A and B are shown apart, each in its own frame.
Chain A
Amino acid sequence: MTDMRDTAETEQPARRPEMRVRPTAPIVPPSNVSGNALMLVIAIMAFLACLTFGAVSMVRATAASWQSEISREITIQIKPDDNLDMEQALKDARDLALTFTGTRDGTIVDKAATARLLEPWLGDGLDIDELPVPRLVIVTIDEQSPPDFTAMRAALSQKIPQAFLDDHRTWVDRLVAMARTTAFIGTGVLVLVFSAMVLTVVFATRGALSGNRHIVEVLHFVGAEAGFVASEFQKHFLKISLKGSLAGGLLAALFFAIAGFWQGRAIATPQSDQATALFGSFSMGLTGYLGIAGTIAVIALLTTLTARFTVMRTIHEIDQIRSDPSRTDQLPDS
């Protein structure tokens, strides 16, 4: 270049101040229409996937809590009888039940509570002594090592013939079946949403890349190695996918936080009780946040790998043209 410099100096007019060069721009343009569209698509899909993940986790937790709550308790029902001292029988039943290993606590449902239980059917101001109403003892049990129900049932019927032990098996079995179905449906929805997310992200990335094919070609022809070209596009698409998936994931987390806040504020109101009964608690928990972080990581990985494979395939196609002169689709006229 020295000789050229000498020649240049002889032909150049008087020297002007050196022009400033702008900071070097990235090889892949940082922002264009297809890149912004891809970021939006990723944000929407991340939001939907995180929302589905949170909702399915919530439904699973609610189903598990239904099952757990009902299987944590057993009920001893004592029918009224002329020869029976009901209050004594209730105490005896409770004491007998608590002698069994696997029981934790026993509560006698008092007259007022029993009246409240019947209030929806028999109305207000009910005198429980005037009606032959069965009375209840609620016994809390250890779910992990429950007591021997058959032995307890036999002991109870021997001591108090009017007593009937309900271990809620019928309800538990139904709820287990319902909870499993709900969890299965939820998992199915999650799989579908994640599949849709994967396909959308892959095709949107390929679409965004197709607008950059000329960059791949130029880089390839100025001597860039395939790995270098792929890494430039990987970096670019990793940034896009992280921005999009973080926005979508954080929006989903914000949705759950707001719903949880509303639920906390509106506690004991009919609307909140109804929502809690239907959906459970809107709290995210560690699993929820891990799920969102996992979804973001999956999307980022998918986008990056798709970008890499698409660039490598584009370069492969360019080289195929080289080795196959019959492929004229990318060539100008000779």
Chain B
Amino acid sequence: MIHFENVGLRYGMGPEILRDLTFDIPRRSFQFLTGPSGAGKTTLLRLLFLSLQPTRGIIRSFDREISTIPRDELPMLRRRIGIVFQDFRLLDHLTTYENVALPLRVRGKEEISYRADVLELLKWVGLGERINVLPPVLSGGEKQRAAIARALIDRPELLLADEPTGNVDPPMARRLLSLFLELNRLGTAVVIATHDLSLMDQVEARRMILSQGRLDIYD
């Protein structure tokens, strides 16, 4: 589904943050992306989300080379990818329900067609009682769960999550992990960037370890 070949990236004239990355993200796969702080995990997720282009190398995303994709086609491709940002990126004037429903709304879907799904997902992530609450009132963990729900709501083919359990307690982390596994079982490829070793230990999954710009993969 996603193929990286000798990908390198540097910002300006600085050193290469990512070097010679060659790997695949197969369909229906589940992997953790880990490594020390500053290793380039967020940058790699941005490359996967098509919000950055590499300085060198080739990235093929959904069978298309990203350097050849016109700008106006990017939104359609991004709709196949769900992303959980580290800083959540929720809109403060929309309720939890409206934030989670946003990807469906921008696709032009009628509210009646998605209301039940959104409410169900919100219940699943433990926000069933917080549907009409605005993000500034939510705790860090609740914001994170809302951001996860927003990324999942349209059943993406690829889910990218940047530290998705960083602000939640261990039971909720387990619950979210089981949600990711469930989603993966239903056909979504999942990449979770995390420092949380205990989380990784709960699942037998592929581990992609970034260190000093290089990537080691343990299947």
Chain A interfacial positions (CB closer than 8 Å to B): 1, 3-5, 7-8, 12, 18-22, 24-25, 27, 29, 214-215, 217-226, 228, 316, 318-319, 321-326, 328, 331-334
Contacts and interface: CB of A to CB of B under 8 A. Distances in A.
23 contacts: A7-B178, A19-B128, A21-B131, A22-B95, A25-B95, A27-B106, A218-B102, A219-B106, A220-B75, A222-B102, A223-B75, A223-B103, A223-B107, A225-B72, A225-B75, A226-B72, A228-B106, A316-B71, A319-B71, A321-B52, A322-B50, A326-B11, A334-B38
Contacts, number: 127
A332 B155 CA distance: 27
Contacts of A215: 91
A219 B179 CA distance: 24
A164 to B, nearest CB: 81
Contact of B131 (A19, A25, A334): A19
B89 A214 contact: yes
A12 B75 contact: no
Contact of B123 (A12, A225, A324, A333): A12
A329 B3 CA distance: 28
B132 interface: yes
B14 to A, nearest CB: 9
Contact of B89 (A3, A218, A323, A331): A218
B93 interface: yes
B74 interface: yes
Nearest to B79: A223
Nearest to A323: B53
B164 interface: no
Contacts of A325: 9-11, 52-55
Interface stretch (B26-34, B40-48, B138-146, B195-203): B40-48
B185 interface: yes
Contact of A4 (B9, B106, B124): B124
For chain B, the bracket of interface size reads 35 or more
A209 to B, nearest CB: 15
Contacts of A218: 89-91, 102
B111 A24 contact: yes
Nearest to B43: A334
A24 B98 contact: yes
A29 B38 CA distance: 35
Contact of A21 (B12, B115, B185): B115
B123 A221 contact: no
Contacts of A1: 117, 120-121, 155
B83 A332 contact: no
Contacts of A332: 42, 86-87
Interface in B52-111: 52-55, 71-72, 74-76, 78-79, 83, 85-87, 89-91, 93-95, 97-98, 101-103, 105-108, 111
B51 interface: yes
A332 B190 CA distance: 22
Interface of B: 9-13, 17, 38, 40-43, 46, 49-55, 71-72, 74-76, 78-79, 83, 85-87, 89-91, 93-95, 97-98, 101-103, 105-108, 111, 115, 117, 119-121, 123-124, 128-129, 131-132, 150, 155, 178-179, 182-183, 185-186
A308 to B, nearest CB: 16
A334 B103 contact: no
A319 B42 contact: no
A19 B182 contact: no
B108 to A, nearest CB: 8
A5 B11 contact: no
Contact of B186 (A3, A18, A24, A326): A3
B135 to A, nearest CB: 11
Contact of B41 (A316, A318, A334): A334
Contacts of B107: 223
Contacts of A321: 51-52
Given A217-B89, A223-B103, 14 more contacts: A1-B155, A3-B182, A7-B178, A18-B119, A19-B128, A19-B132, A21-B132, A24-B111, A25-B98, A221-B85, A222-B150, A322-B74, A323-B53, A332-B87
Contacts of B102: 27, 218-219, 222
A228 B121 CA distance: 26
Nearest to A229: B106
Contacts of A22: 95, 132
Contacts of A217: 89
